[in-house]
Structure 1
Amino acid sequence: MPRTGRLILPDFPHHIVQRGHNRQTVFASPADCHYYLDILQEFSKALDVKVYAFCLMTNHVHLLLDPGTDLERASCLVKTLAGRMTRYRNKLEGRSGTLWEGRFKSSPVQTGTYLLECCRYIELNPVRAGMVTEAGKYDWSSYSLRTDTKPDNWLSPLPGTKLWGTGKRWRERYAEFVKEGISEECYQQIHNAVKRNQLTGNSRFVDEIAQIIGTRVEQRGPGRPPKN
């Protein structure tokens, strides 16, 4: 069965997942995580790509990015991150070869509720994996930047949350939102969408994207259709 082509759209957030080659470890130490996040901060600013959320897991990474009008920005950022991290790890280990799978996964995300749900999905990954008991106890996700009063917060503000207030009230509301957890239905929708390079959103979003690109991207299940 032919693989689904990666879809990147202008002015939409994209949930991006990149995995280590053969699921090998990518982030083996805090130094590895610091190095990757330094590059992410530097080049997202240089390329003018908005970063809404991230989570570095042992053998893969989740990013929630908005490339703006230039479709090449997101790909360029992810490729830069991958290349720099590969050279860094190869030098540390005295080896050569690839560190990542050949292609990253990408799912355009509907703004509003789905964008918030995708942030929560990403930041709760370590909790679901049993690595920590709550999002705030994991050092390598965007959660602490969203909920702390750190002056070095370099994340882009989340659109569609003005009703949550500002400052301390906003941070408290966001922390409450993440603590509420994500439903299994919503988790599976986001998980399947990025796994299959499909859309994360409702039927109206599918219609909207069809108008933009001239073809309909259906949210299909895995594998071949059953035979009669």
Structure 2
Amino acid sequence: MSRPRRLTVGNLVYHVIHRGNGRMTIFEDEEDMDAFERVLEEALALHPSMRMIAHCVMPNHWHLVLYPSESKVLSKFVAWVASTHTRRWHAHRHQTGEGHLYQGRFRSFLVQKGPPVAKVCRYVERNAMRAGLVERAEDWRHGSLWRWSRGAAKQKELLAAWPDPPGRRPAGWLDLVNQPQSDAEEEAIRVCLRRERPYGDAEWMETVIPQFGLVSTLRPQGRPRKEG
């Protein structure tokens, strides 16, 4: 089955994930993660129409929740981040031109504004804690939750306001992120990651899936069963 079409429509929210080739470790230490976040800062400065509302850098992948104000910027932004980071990663290791760092193209899915955005951001910001890398989500220094709760003013500038509603993280956000999400909620988001399926309520899905030609994201994966 062919992959879903890549959406680049402005003023919509997207969850983006990119993994190391073969799920290899691409961030071996704090210095590697710091270097990648500097690439993010440069990318946001070069693409002023891109807004980032959440992110998390993990040892073998990264998550971004993006809210571009213009169309056709999403793919350009993520491609610039990945290609620039790849060049610098190889140059730092004196391995220029020695193979792919990332696993094919990045994956993304559309997120309904309102409560679904909060659920996806919560999923992203508790990623390191869920993996057992920290005791509390805000302890992970390479993500938006740390920047939002503990970062200096300059570091917080990397984060844009959430779309209305709610426009910002809700009251009690730290405690909420540190509480487990339900298995059903996490699995629903993982399905969207795998299938690049929009994430939102049923009524919204019934509108955006045909509007943007995403019917294929609802079909079962794999080859159809043979009859007889």
- TM-score bin, normalised by smaller chain: 0.7 to 0.9
SS in structure 1 of the partner of residue 129 of structure 2: helix
Alpha carbons 1:55, 1:141 under 8 Å: kept: yes
SS in structure 1 of the partner of residue 206 of structure 2: helix
Distance 1:217 1:109, change over 3 A: farther
Tell me which residue corresponds to 2:147.
145
Tell me which residue corresponds to 2:46.
46
SS in structure 2 of the partner of residue 9 of structure 1: coil
- For 2:166, the aligned partner's letter is T
SS in structure 2 of the partner of residue 187 of structure 1: helix
Unaligned runs of 5+ in 2: none
Mapped partners of 2:145, 2:65: distance in 1: 13
Higher alpha-carbon deviation: 218-227 or 107-116: 218-227
- For 1:102, the aligned partner's letter is G
1:85 shift after superposition: 1.2
Report matched runs for 1:205-220 at 5 Å: 205-210=204-209, 212-213=211-212, 216=215, 219-220=218-219
1:111 shift after superposition: 0.7
Matched, 1:198 2:197: yes
SS in structure 2 of the partner of residue 106 of structure 1: strand
1:217 shift after superposition: 5.9
1:207 shift after superposition: 2.3
Unaligned runs of 5+ in 1: 165-169
Alpha carbons 1:109, 1:199 under 8 Å: kept: yes
Matched, 1:156 2:139: no
1:5 shift after superposition: 3.4
Determine what percentage of the aligned residue pairs are the same residue: 27
Report matched runs for 1:12-91 at 5 Å: 12-47=12-47, 48-71=49-72, 73-91=73-91
SS in structure 1 of the partner of residue 146 of structure 2: helix
SS in structure 2 of the partner of residue 27 of structure 1: coil
1:216 shift after superposition: 4.2
- For 2:78, the aligned partner's letter is V
Alpha carbons 2:125, 2:137 under 8 Å: kept: yes
Mapped partners of 2:179, 2:162: distance in 1: 18
SS in structure 2 of the partner of residue 14 of structure 1: strand
SS in structure 2 of the partner of residue 76 of structure 1: helix
- For 1:62, the aligned partner's letter is H
Mapped partners of 2:146, 2:30: distance in 1: 16
Distance 1:215 1:93, change over 3 A: closer
Cα RMSD between the aligned structures?
2.2
1:100 shift after superposition: 0.5
Taking structure 1 as the reference length, what is the TM-score of the superposition? 0.87
- For 2:55, the aligned partner's letter is F
Tell me which residue corresponds to 1:97.
99
SS in structure 2 of the partner of residue 100 of structure 1: coil
Mapped partners of 1:215, 1:86: distance in 2: 30
Distance 1:69 1:127, change over 3 A: same
Tell me which residue corresponds to 1:126.
128
Distance 1:223 1:8, change over 3 A: farther
Corresponding residue pairs, total: 221
Report Cα offsets for 1:125-177 as digits up to 9, x if no partner.
1122121222012111111122236312120112323697xxxxx6x622122
1:224 shift after superposition: 3.8
Distance 1:8 1:220, change over 3 A: farther
Tell me which residue corresponds to 1:167.
none
